[in-house]
Structure 1
Amino acid sequence: MNQPQSHDDATGPRFEGLSAVTLATHDMERAVAFYLALGFPLSYGGPSEAFTSFEFGGTYLNLILDTRGPVLWWGRVIVHVSDVDAVYQKALAAGYRPEAPPADASWGERYFHICDPDGHEISIARRL
């Protein structure tokens, strides 16, 4: 069985950061409304476009309109914010129901999870 190995090659290319995550949506208008309600800053596209981007901290969360069937796997996007509780309150005020209130985790983050209208799990977090 292959064991993962880290190669510290000073002469080779480095991975420098994550630029973007793109999530599929079946309803761009509904998805954009969800992310705007949580306070995500819109940088490109919008409710009537086939591709939309939200930019924060040099990283993009993209949405792409996809009319194929439902996604049959699971994943989570973790977004760090300055005030987890304020984003939680924005979600409640917009009528969304996160699975649980914000909590402090043993791994050193305050967080809550919420699913977007297409079922993608979004974790809103900050380091403690």
Structure 2
Amino acid sequence: MTPRLDAVGLVVSDMAASLAFYRLLGLDVPADADNAPHVEAVLPGGTRVLWDTEETVRSFDPGWTAPSGGDRLGLAFACDTPAEVDALYERLVAAGYRGHLKPWDAVWGQRYALVLDPDGMAVSLFADAS
């Protein structure tokens, strides 16, 4: 038996703020989930994104502390076109989220940008440049 990636879990300091960001990215997150301690959304293809509040994580791991000193995980969202990368980046920044790297044409052949979610996690937006 080979394990398969089923979900990516995020620990968040403010559930409503985090869900608002990911809804703006296009994830189908339940509308009534903003005050829940645990939320799940299924992506096309079946992989799930899981959100847990810091309090929820501490309920089963009392010694847990928020990471510091840089990213250890990042999410990357594929866009259909380079123009979609630009538009989505601008929409997120206009909504008050922190842009980290404005869209650029990366040497590896993609239009690429980085924006930070409410907890400071880098979220990549990319599309094939061609």
Distance 2:78 2:6 in 1: 15
For residues 76-128 of structure 1, what are the alpha-carbon distances to aligned partners after superposition, in whole Å with 9 as ceiling and x for unaligned?
11121222122112202312231132111111221111111112111111233
Q: Give the equivalent residue in structure 2 for 1:3.
A: none
**Under a length normalisation based on structure 2, what TM-score does the superposition of the two structures give?**
0.73
Contact 1:78–1:122 at 8 Å: present in 2 too? Answer: yes
Helix, strand or coil: the match of 1:79? Answer: strand
Q: Which one has the bigger helix percentage?
A: 2
Q: Give the equivalent residue in structure 2 for 1:39.
A: 26
Q: Does residue 113 of the first structure (1) align with residue 92 of the second (2)? A: no
Distance 2:32 2:48 in 1: 13
Q: Give the equivalent residue in structure 2 for 1:7.
A: none
Please identify, of 103-112 and 48-57, the stretch whose mean Cα deviation from structure 2 is larger.
48-57
Distance 2:79 2:33 in 1: 22
Note the aligned Cα RMSD (angstroms).
2.4
Q: Give the equivalent residue in structure 2 for 1:71.
A: 67
Distance 1:54 1:124 in 2: 19
Helix, strand or coil: the match of 2:102? Answer: coil
For residues 16-70 of structure 1, what are the alpha-carbon distances to aligned partners after superposition, in whole Å with 9 as ceiling and x for unaligned?
x643211101211111112122332225872111122233322322211123532
Contact 2:97–2:117 at 8 Å: present in 1 too? Answer: no
Q: Give the equivalent residue in structure 2 for 1:27.
A: 14
Q: Give the equivalent residue in structure 2 for 1:81.
A: 79
Q: Does residue 56 of the first structure (1) align with residue 43 of the second (2)? A: yes
> What is the identity percentage for the equivalent residue pairs of Structure 1 and Structure 2?
30
Residue 86 of structure 1 aligns with an amino acid whose one-letter code is A
